[in-house]
Amino acid sequence: MLQTIAVLIAVGMAVFIVFPLLSADTAAGPLPLDVTLLGDLKRRRLVVYDNLKDLEFEFQSGKIAREDYEALRTNYLGEAAGLMAATQEAEQLKQDDAVVEREIAARRATRKSQPKIEYKCQACGYENPLPVKFCGECGARLATPGKK
């Protein structure tokens, strides 16, 4: 009796597991992205701001000399400005309707094949799934994509 119940639970679970495979919902696209380019840039800026805040605090509590503080501060600000510039360029691109079209096309393409190599970053080797000017992984500027 108990054994039968156990078997029924297992079978029920198996049906539950297989169910998504049977669904005729072919409209579902590929897996959504974990990290978008703009999100990644913003997050990296937040890390830099966090570092800046730390630096400020360490300077105020007397842990770090003024000379070091100023040099590091300029350095961090430069880093943040670079990231912000990249964001603005990406946003510019995004406003372009054609880009949206291209993005959709690229996403359709990825469903069937690997991402196009045109968006492979020269600096880190990451294959960006979208047409971008800056690498979604390391932020380096990409060579102009093959097709525009």
Partner 1 sequence: MTGVTGKTDCSKTTRGLASAILLSTLLGASLARGAEARKPTVESIGNEVQCTCGCVAPVNQCPMLNCSEKAEIRAFISKEISEGKEEKTILQDLSLRYGLQVLSAPPAKGFNLAVWILPGLGLLVGLSLVVVIVRRWNSKPADESPAPPATYDPKVLAAMEEEMKSAGLH
Partner 2 sequence: MNQVGSVGLIAALAFAAYALVAGAVGGYLRSPRITRSAERAAWGFFLMITLAVAALEYMILTNDFHNAYVAEHSNRDLLTYYKVAALWAGQEGSLLFWTWLLSIYSALVVWQNRRKNRQLMPYVVSVLMGTGTFFSLLVFFVANPFQELAVATSTGTQAFTAPDGNGLNPLLQYHSMVIHPPMLYLGYVGMVVPFAFAMAALITRQLGDNWIRITRRWTMVPWMLLGTGILLGGNWAYAVLGWGGYWGWDPVENASLLPWLAGTAFLHSVMIQEKRGMLKVWNVALVILTFFLSIFGTFLTRSGIVSSVHAFAQSNIGPFFAVFLAIILFFSVTLLFLRLDHLKSENKLDSMVSRESGFLFNNWILLALVFAIFWGTLFPVISKAIENTTVTVGAPFFNKVAIPMGLLLLLLTGAGPLLAWRKTSFQSIRRNFTAPLIVAGAAGAVMFAEGVRNLYAWMTLFLSVFVAVCILGEFWKGAHTRMRTASENFAVALYNLTMRNTRRYGGYVVHIGIVLLFIGFAGQAFKADTKGLMQEGDLLRINNYELRLSELVSGDNPNYEYTRAIFSVTKNGEAFTSMHPEKRFYKASQQPTSYVAIHPTLSEDLYVVLAGLDPGTNKAIVQVFVNPLVMWVWIGGVVTLLGTLLALVPSRVEREMAEMRLAQEMIVQAGDAF
Residue that has been written with the tokens 């703009």 in this structure: 38
Shortest Cβ distance from residue 45 to partner 1 (Å)? Answer: 7
**x-marked contacts with partner 2 along 57-86 as a string, rule CB under 8 A:** xx-xxxxxx-xx--xx--------------
Shortest Cβ distance from residue 144 to partner 2 (Å)? Answer: 22
Cβ neighbour number for residue 36 with a 10 Å cutoff: 13
Q: Which of 11, 14, 46, 124 binds partner 1 (CB under 8 A)?
A: 46
* H or E segment and range at residue 97: helix 97-112
* H or E segment and range at residue 76: helix 66-95
Residues in the chain: 148
> What is d(CA 32, CA 11) in angstroms, rounded to the nearest whole number?
31
Q: Is the separation of the CB atoms in 119 and 131 below 8 Å?
A: yes
Indicate whether 94 belongs to the interface with partner 2 (CB under 8 A): no
Q: Is 140 exposed, middle or buried (0-12, 13-18, 19+ CB in 10 A)?
A: middle
Residue closest to 115 by CA, chosen among 101, 100, 131, 102 = 131
> Which of partner 2, partner 1, none is residue 84 near (CB under 5 to 8 Å by kind)?
partner 1
**x-marked contacts with partner 1 along 64-103 as a string, rule CB under 8 A:** ------xxx-xx-xxxxxx-xx-xx---------------
> Which of partner 1, partner 2, none is residue 125 near (CB under 5 to 8 Å by kind)?
partner 2
Indicate whether 124 belongs to the interface with partner 1 (CB under 8 A): no
Indicate whether 20 belongs to the interface with partner 2 (CB under 8 A): yes
Q: Which residues bind partner 1 (CB under 8 A)?
A: 45-46, 49, 52-53, 56, 70-72, 74-75, 77-82, 84-85, 87-88
